[in-house]
Amino acid sequence: MGCGLRKLEDPEDSSPGKIYSTLKRPQVETKTETVYEYVLLDFSLEGSRPTVQYVASLSELPQALQPYYTQGYILAALHPIILSVGRTRSLPFSLLYRAILARPRPSVPMLKVEEWPLPGESLTGDTVRALIDRVNSSARGGVRFVASVLQQVSGITNGRVHSPKRGCRSPPRSPPRTPPGDRELEENTYSPDLRLLVFFHSWAPGCAPLDSLACQYHQGALSMRVSRKGQVVSSLEADWLELTAAYYRKGWSLVDSFVYWDTPKGEPVPRSLEGLFVYEERSTSPPANDTIVVEQWTVIEGSNVKTDYGPLLHTLAEFGWLLTCVLPTPIIRHDSDGNLATKQVVFLQRPVRIILHLFIYPVPPEELSPTAGGIGGFPVFGGGYPSALSHLEEGGFEQEEGKAEVTCM
């Protein structure tokens, strides 16, 4: 008997899904001064596997990632591979997590994690706003917010978070001490089954880069139109560029996302879902950012990830694109081989490059000699697109309207 999930049309297709960008493809593939290098690591909370490292708790990630930090990598994003929502909580893959590390700027920080109990039985808008206030309180102490993971647990023993068991609930426990200013969290009853693991970067005294000081975090709207089969989300649509454009123009960075996937029992099933993006504003005045958003399928064969956004990520890294956030979704299907496939939304950004077209008069056209550098000294790129992008048909990038070029006369 099947589980009723729709099969993938082409399970062998490893190409990216929909890609949205503020730029056209030739502009995406222009070189910049910054080049990133990524490492993708998978972790499991349920025993070791050949290609997956076991950790008893995500709280152990700082120790597990320390060898990469000594090589100059830092955590860029952290997300579950299969989003644990509704019936997917019972899947054996629901405790797989993906950590993406990137080469850092010159000053290498340390990664630390804090465990924050959550009030109530679910994540709400008020809860997230209170959490952002708490993140800002921590940021004033000189740390930088990196990522968060919501985890449902059945209890804590010797400081370790145990994986959830269906139908098992922990006895109520008193909330831990919280820093001043967290009144919204203190006034609520804490759920024994919900924990938010919050990851920060911290530096030794006097070693923090200037743009890491006095960072401030803001919330932004996140709304999606969804289709459902019963209570299960089967597809989603969102105006990713419209949702994020105003923040990227300010030079802010997208850091994290919170979505309220669960529908409370007894309430009508909504046709849209709401959540919050978290953006980072630095104390300096950075340039505006261009963005690429990729809706990507990850296919799991056995206990291994067969296809994912990795090839595209490595290709875009050569052009200076930095991954800042991965939004997992509860959309799950099976391919013809019975492998699970789930959709994630990947966000990358890069500072806007102002291209100057120089026109010098009155030089006769016949006296102009072609140069290898292209117009205005900028290189011309044509043909030979990287394989991760070559799957895209012409026009596969959906460009934001109103992008203007600067012309010097």
pLDDT of 394-408, one tens digit each? Answer: 444 555 444 433 323
Q: What is the pLDDT, as a whole number, of residue 166?
A: 30
Please give the average per-residue pLDDT across 13-24, as a whole number: 79
Comparing CA positions, the residue from 249, 260, 252, 409 lying closest to residue 329 is 260
Model confidence band, residue 178 (pLDDT cutoffs 50, 70, 90): very low
Please give the average per-residue pLDDT across 215-244, as a whole number: 92
Please give the average per-residue pLDDT across 156-169, as a whole number: 36
Model confidence band, residue 278 (pLDDT cutoffs 50, 70, 90): very high
Please give the average per-residue pLDDT across 4-13, as a whole number: 47
Q: Structure tokens of 303?
A: 């206990």
- List the 232-237 sheet strands across, edge first: 232-237, 216-229, 272-281, 253-259
Q: What is the pLDDT, as a whole number, of residue 125?
A: 82
Using the predicted structure, report yes or no on whether residue 64 has a pLDDT greater than 90.
Answer: yes
The rounded percent of the chain whose pLDDT value lies above 90 is 38
Cα distances (Å, whole numbers) of residue 44 to 48, 49, 209, 298: 7, 8, 33, 16
**Which range in 10-19, 134-143, 279-288 is most confidently predicted, on average pLDDT?**
134-143
Using the predicted structure, report yes or no on whether residue 30 has a pLDDT greater than 80.
Answer: yes
Please give the average per-residue pLDDT across 118-133, as a whole number: 83
Please identify which residue in the block is written with the tokens 């917010």.
Answer: 145
Comparing CA positions, the residue from 286, 304, 213 lying closest to residue 249 is 286
Q: What is the pLDDT, as a whole number, of residue 374?
A: 30
Quote the longest CA-to-CA distance of the chain: 84
Please give the average per-residue pLDDT across 191-201, as a whole number: 83
Compare 214 and 128 and report the one with higher pLDDT.
128
- Phi and psi at residue 405, to the nearest 5°: -105, 150
pTM score: 0.69
Please give the average per-residue pLDDT across 304-319, as a whole number: 92
Comparing CA positions, the residue from 3, 75, 8 lying closest to residue 38 is 75
Pick from 135-144, 161-170, 247-256, 284-293: least confident? 161-170
User: With helix as H, strand as E and coil as C, how does the chain read?
Assistant: CCCCCCECCCCCCCCCCCEEECCCHHHHCCCCCCCCCEEEEEEECCCCECCEEECCCHHHHHHHHHHHHHCCCEEEEEEECCCCCHHHHHCCCCCEEEEEEECCCCCCCEEEEEEEEEECCCCCHHHHHHHHHHHHHHHCCCCEEEEEEEEECCCEECCEECCCCCCCCCCCCCCCCCCCCCHHHHCCCEEEEEEEEEEEEECCCCCCCHHHCCCEEEEEEEEEEEEEECCEEEEEECCHHHHHHHHHHCCCEEEEEEECCCCCCCCCCCCEEEEEEEEEECCCCCCCEEEEEEEEEEEEECCEEEECCHHHHHHHHCCCCEEEEEEEEEEEEECCCCCEEEEEEEEEEEECCCCEEECCCCCCHHHCCCCCCCHHHCCCCCCCCCHHHHCCCCCCEEECCCCCCEEEC
Cα distances (Å, whole numbers) of residue 13 to 190, 308, 314, 391: 45, 10, 18, 9
Q: What is the pLDDT, as a whole number, of residue 167?
A: 28
Pick from 8-12, 21-25, 162-166, 324-328: least confident? 162-166
Compare 178 and 381 and report the one with higher pLDDT.
178
Q: What distance in Å separates the CA atoms of residue 278 and residue 138, rounded to the nearest whole number?
A: 15
Compare 393 and 291 and report the one with higher pLDDT.
291
**How much is the mean pLDDT over the chain?**
75
Q: What is the pLDDT, as a whole number, of residue 6?
A: 45
Model confidence band, residue 353 (pLDDT cutoffs 50, 70, 90): confident
> Would you tell me how many other CB atoms lie within 10 Å of the CB of residue 200?
22
Using the predicted structure, report yes or no on whether residue 378 has a pLDDT greater than 80.
Answer: no
Using the predicted structure, report yes or no on whether residue 369 has a pLDDT greater than 50.
Answer: no
